[in-house]
A and B are shown apart, each in its own frame.
Chain A
Amino acid sequence: MSPDPTAPTSHAHSAPGVRVRGLTVVYKTPMGELPAVSNVDLTLAPGTITGVVGESGSGKSTLALCLLNAVQPPGRIAAGSVEIDGLGDVVELGGEELRRARGRHVGYVFQAAQNSLNPLKTIGKQLLDLGRSHGVADLRALVRDAKDLLARMGMDGARVLDSYQHELSGGMRQRVGIMLALVLNARVVVLDEPTTALDMITQATILRIVREVHDERGLTTLVITHDVGAVAEVADDLAVMYGGRVVEHGPVKEVLGDPRHPYTQGLIRAIPRLSGDIGEARALPGRPPTLGTLPAAGCVFRERCDRRMDVCDTVEPVALTRDGRTVACHAAAEDADRRLTAARRKEFA
């Protein structure tokens, strides 16, 4: 189903890479400025789909907004950079330059596309607005492209462009959102909760469309979701966020099949599944942290962790990368060392 991530697709040479480095986003609160995203490094390889999963308050939506440099006050990007090939550091962009980059370079499908369309204008009118605001000379070609994209997603383009949003079903609106994000030929696409509030069958259809359009157009795609299942189906890579940190990152099959961070392990055990032993599944104890309850020092997950050690209270674990897997955990680092020693011993024996 999902292509081998090591074998580049035919478009990979043209798909842009995205490198997030040391990104910190703070929100102004009565308790001072608190970090929603804290010193995050994340690389999106060109031509891949990366899924970011996290619970409420994990900072995943804030991270996604940073790709557009669109964090709204009282939030602000306090440090770090977001490098996109062919565009530069988005954090440094501003004003007219930034406005043009949004939509052209980076397409964004908003959370609840259901509510992000203008209820007073037909989809076609909104498409023309988008074209004009980006100075598209040939609006006829734009409409043609839009119709092609909609047809590609299994809809009657002409009918959809003449419709108001209330005349479309949830799955159709989500497809319109994807069309609007892609019609200006953006090569980096961010989808924020693309399947939330959709039915299972519609969700499966949307995920298949995301995968197909991604492959055909040679995109670099970021999918933000709270639903591990939704990304497991489409993504090549999976990043797990907790308390504003990326705690684990790697190829999706490896992360799901052999999770190394205790949070990832607990999260996977907590998914209601169709297969597997019901008795083994259990909820994670405790609850996700909010901005106000994040500990100032040490590991952010320690309160809910079943492998908590003394060092976790004082020292924040750094993200270590080994064999293409990145994990930020003291216990997981110990495990990795042990595996390495065992492997060496075997070699000498």
Chain B
Amino acid sequence: MITGTGITKTFKQRGSVLGAREVRALRGVDFAVEAGGAVSFIGESGCGKTTLGRIIAGLETYDSGEIVIDGVPMSGLGHRRRQPYFRRIQLIHQDPYSALNPTRTIHQTLEAPLALRAKQTGRPRSWVDARATELLSLVGIDPGYVLPRYPHQLSGGMRQRVVIARALTMDPEVLVADEAVSMIDVSLRLGILALLKDLRVRLGVGVLFITHDIATARYIGDDSELYVLYRGQVVERGPTETIITRPVHPYTQSLLSATPVLHGLELPGAERVVPTEALDPGGSDEGCLFAPRCPFATQLCVERRPTLSHDGTTLQEHACLHPRVRSVIPVDAVNRAEPGTEQRTGTEADTGARG
């Protein structure tokens, strides 16, 4: 199990004569990923989700806060003593086309980390090949076909499976999947998501899923937790299905509203929220971070910064001074309206169910 408390990270931009510009990538983020659990981080680019993923994978330092892996706090350990812990957290990159060495066959790609693993655990060399075959079967590809091939001979979906198999060579506790399906063909995306869900069950490996597309977060398991990040702050946190169907933070609602509606199959939600455009990406640091773009912001929002907490009325935690559930996600059009007739299901009255 991995927990983080109060993780902050500030990037300082150097090189400017007029003084350094600071970007506060993370402003005190708490999280917990359990063995076999699933946590999704969503938000726009620049919200800090990738930085958080890199910190959790041990690839980036953090300014303050504490990461605890299996009960051991990382801040007390030196670099060398941290390594075995962070090795148990493996990163799956976004781009399966550049994540694999093009001059190595898949066999060579898997052999190197497995040989290391064999040495660490005192297993014989013969274990390496057997394990490579086993891992490829586990991720759903034919080892006989894939092992002798180079990455360019494989499709995007196959490459991503190889990347996942490579991450599994280290017997990880947690897989950090940063936009792991955004570059995969649409017809194969669900396959990769189903694989991650399957690995949770079969290997008890935790999944930390980072994405800008909330819809994909539904498919890594119905017990998953969702964190919505905005400018380095978690603004809403709770069960994925709850946040998608009953979001209370206007930023979450904006993200959900922006998901395209499949007209003909779905009808748009009745209360879609469109945020005002960010004029200054730096923005003000006073009050609620989302207030400058929020259509519902009041004077209070400009003055006070809400913190993430339960208010007792919702299942999820949120950081909003004026929380309200809005129906922003598309409604299934099937069985609700005859194709061609535009029917608004703005109210709860289910017109189609009677027909």
Contacts and interface: CB of A to CB of B under 8 A. Distances in A.
A200 B191 contact: no
B215 A207 contact: no
Contacts of A287: 155, 157-158, 185, 188
B188 A252 contact: no
Contacts of B218: 272, 274, 278
B148 interface: no
B257 interface: yes
B214 A267 contact: no
Contacts of B158: 287
Contact of B186 (A169, A170, A270): A270
A283 interface: yes
Interface string B196-220: 0000000000000000111110110
A283 B188 contact: yes
B310 to A, nearest CB: 24
Given A2-B263, A199-B45, A272 B190 contact: yes
B331 to A, nearest CB: 6
B321 interface: no
B153 to A, nearest CB: 10
A1 interface: yes
Contacts of B340: 253-254
Interface stretch (B32-40, B61-69, B111-119, B264-272): B264-272
Interface stretch (A91-99, A125-133, A136-144, A255-263): A255-263
Contact of A273 (B191, B215, B254, B255): B215
A274 B155 contact: no
A266 interface: yes
A232 B219 contact: no
Interface string B208-237: 000011111011001000000000000000
Contacts of A271: 186, 262
B258 A252 contact: no
Contacts of B258: 199-201, 203-204
Interface residues of B, number: 50
A276 B215 CA distance: 11
A75 interface: no
Given A256-B262, A275-B329, A55 B215 contact: no
Counting chain A residues whose Cβ lies within 8 A of the other chain, the interface size class is 35 or more
A154 B266 CA distance: 29
Nearest to A155: B277
A95 B156 CA distance: 38
Most B C-beta atoms less than 10 A away, residue of A205, A272, A284, A290: A272
A85 interface: no
Contact of A283 (B190, B259, B261, B263): B190
A88 interface: no
A303 interface: no
A324 B204 CA distance: 51
Contacts of A276: 266, 332
A291 interface: no
A268 to B, nearest CB: 7
B277 A154 contact: yes
B151 interface: no
A100 interface: no
Contacts of B262: 228-229, 232, 256, 268, 271, 273
A230 B260 contact: yes
A255 B339 CA distance: 11
A275 B332 CA distance: 6
A249 B166 CA distance: 41
B255 A200 contact: yes
B53 interface: no
A343 B334 CA distance: 23
Contacts of A227: 186, 260
Interface in A38-58: 55-56
Contacts of B255: 200-201
Given A200-B213, A229-B260, A233-B260, A272 B189 contact: yes
Interface of A: 1-2, 55-56, 154, 169-170, 199-205, 207, 226-230, 232-233, 252-258, 266-268, 270-276, 278, 281-284, 287-288, 290
Lowest 3 CB-CB distances: which A-B pairs, in order?
Answer: A257-B264, A229-B260, A253-B264
